[in-house]
Amino acid sequence: MEESKAFSLEDVRITDDRSTFSNYKEVKTNKIHFDWFVNFETSQLEGKVTLKMTAITDIQTVILDSWQLNIINIPGATFKLGEEKDIGSKLEVILDSKVTSGSNFDLEIEYTTLPNSSALSWLQPDQTLDKEHPFLFSQSQSIYARCVFPCQDTPSIKTTYTGKTKVKSPLTVLLSADVVSEETTEDGFKITEFDMPMPIPSYLVSICAGNLSFRKIGERCGVYAEESYVDTCAEEFEDMEKFLKVGEEILFEYPLKNYFVVILPPSFPYGGMENPVTTFATPTIVVGDKSAVNVVCHEITHSWTGNYLTNSNWEDFWLNEGFTRYIEAKMVHRLYGENAHKLHLKKGLSSLQGVLQNKTGKGAGCVLVPELNEHQNPDDVLGSTQYEKGYYFLYYLELLLTEEKFLEFIRNYLKTREGGNISTREFVAELIDFIKSNYDEAKSQEILSMIDLKEWLYSGELPPVIHDSDFEEWKQMEVIFDQFKDGKDPANLDIFKENVGLLIAFTQKIMLNEEHFDSNILAKIDEALHISENKNCEVLVGWYYAALKLDYSVIHDQIYKFLGEVGRMKFVLPLFKALTEVNKEKAESIYDDNKSFYHAICKGRIQKILA
């Protein structure tokens, strides 16, 4: 490893939350109670939220984040709603009397959500698998909790919460909390009470409602899905309890009581969302051979990195996702071996190369700690960079300190903050302290001199150090890739049958190097590997991208159908990016045909690509 510039805390920019209107530095929320009626007839949540707050300074005004909400009444206060911007509106609550510093008070807000909420997807029965009942799910990360309830919508504010929901039977409501009680009334409504004892940020408050069935898996785990699908899902995720135990071996005891996965309808825009107790997941991870269940490893890991300890603001998002990718890789290593870990590194690097080549629909640039503008939506700049470059940075630190020492640092780092928040600057300060207290002065200086903070944190390029993670099967895959590229007939194609991860890497590599291929070569590859028949969307996305760009037209109808059946942005956005470049009219037509299917967050991102 080459030495780099001197390591200094002064190189680390102080970050702040520019995506909230709330005056969270003057008053803070400690606990929340929700009382919601899930009204499928109007596509609205109706009810009230009670914020238990503490004044940090003398105040008479509480400013909350609100977006697409109908505020009805706030007892003991008057209110005014500001002009709507790209991140919602400022809800200014003027209390009837001043509250002195250190005093506690309750703010009860009666309101409804709006049917066009950016956070809530209200699905008709024909948009579900069983096609009998409607379905609701929320997606609040990063700044869409304010579309579900008025709040201090910043990760810096973490609260416990309780909830009470009412919905027409036989539907079930799930929040990101433990179920405390459930009853069905004589007039056919299901009343459920919930409790979340661990402080969490607003973006982790979630709700889903539908005709859900449950299967228990192991001691603490289980899966929810529609009845016709739940057994398939339970079989796919039968190792969940094992994943949880491996996470505990690497870190420490799981901080909650239960861990459940809810398989949502296919319009869910992410692979998974780490809502506490009830992880939301896309059906695209249920492929029949467990090859996509690493998403569950990732979301389980968030229980510690992201949920238990949370980034202070969205500029520090890599502290959630980079750490989660790093611990996920440790789990993969222990569960599946060294080569699986190396493949993790390789695919992460390919992902960053895709960002730099602007093939992901997110724009180019690999800045780990981006600087947001005032009132900017974090979704404009956050993406796979915070996952993969963050992971690479932490793995580099492990190589400098040793795995044993670095995991010791991470455990201490998580525990000493006891479920609070962390900024990049605070992380670096703790890292410096750990290095100096565990090594003599000469060794400390040697280690610190090897870390070029400006390059890692603020450069828009690939990681300054690329780890050597070659292994035999990877080398074989690269030989096969080169042979296909050169028009030859490769042998040893069985390596792809034995390792789906290699096939994913292979199609990613085609996507990143499409200029070296044409439709005839793709046809030859398809004849040999039957990629177009594969059911794993991770395999298909790179393949479909190349097929669009290189006019492998025999599967274009298949791709168009895929875009109407899958709403996961990881797959949808690159394909719209490719299709827009080769046939914008067709891209617009497919979007128009399917826009009622896509989640609002996904719709917004597709619209930016089409523009």
Binding residues for Zn(2+): 298, 302, 321
Give me the sign of the Cα torsion angle 355, 357, 362, 365: positive
CA torsion, ordered 288, 289, 292, 293, to nearest 10 deg: 90
Structure tokens at 347: 């695919």
Write down the residue that tokens 């990016």 correspond to.
Answer: 577
* Helices and strands (H and E) in the chain: how many: 19, 21
Reduced to 3 states, what is the DSSP secondary structure of residue 281? strand
Alpha carbons 572 and 368: distance in angstroms, whole number: 24
Helices (H), 267-317: 294-301
299 is catalytic: yes
Backbone angles phi, psi at 167, to 5 degrees: -150, 155
Per the annotation, where are the binding residues?
A: 139-141, 269-274, 298, 302, 321, 568-570
Q: How far is CA 521 from CA 159, 369, 514, 524, 528, in A?
A: 55, 40, 11, 5, 11
Between β-strands 77-81 and 89-99, what pairing exists: parallel, antiparallel or unpaired? antiparallel
Sheet holding 104-113, edge to edge: 69-73, 104-113, 44-55, 27-39, 158-168, 189-201, 178-184
Neighbours of 70 (CB within 10 A): 13
Give the integer Cα–Cα distance in Å for 401 and 93.
50
Side chain identity at residue 394, one-letter code: L
How far is the CA of 485 from the CAs of 205, 429, 481, 500, in angstroms? 48, 48, 6, 20
Report the candidate in 305, 319, 195 with the shortest Cα–Cα distance to residue 257: 195
Q: Which of 299, 315, 514, 538 is catalytic?
A: 299
Task: Indicate which residue of 161, 203, 259, 387 is catalytic.
Answer: 387
Helix, strand, or coil (residue 407): helix
Closest C-alpha among 310, 363, 302, 301 to residue 331: 301
The single-letter DSSP state of residue 149 is: S
Copy the structure tokens of residue 157.
Answer: 């504010």
Annotated binding-site members for a peptide:
139-141, 269-274, 568-570
Residues 78 and 33 sit within 8 Å (Cβ to Cβ): no
The three-class DSSP label of residue 536 is coil
Q: How far apart are CA 489 and CA 560, in angstroms?
A: 30
- Spatial separation of the C-alpha atoms in residues 162 and 92, rounded to whole Å: 24
Residue 302 · residue 311 · CB < 8 Å: no
* Active site residue ranges: 299, 387
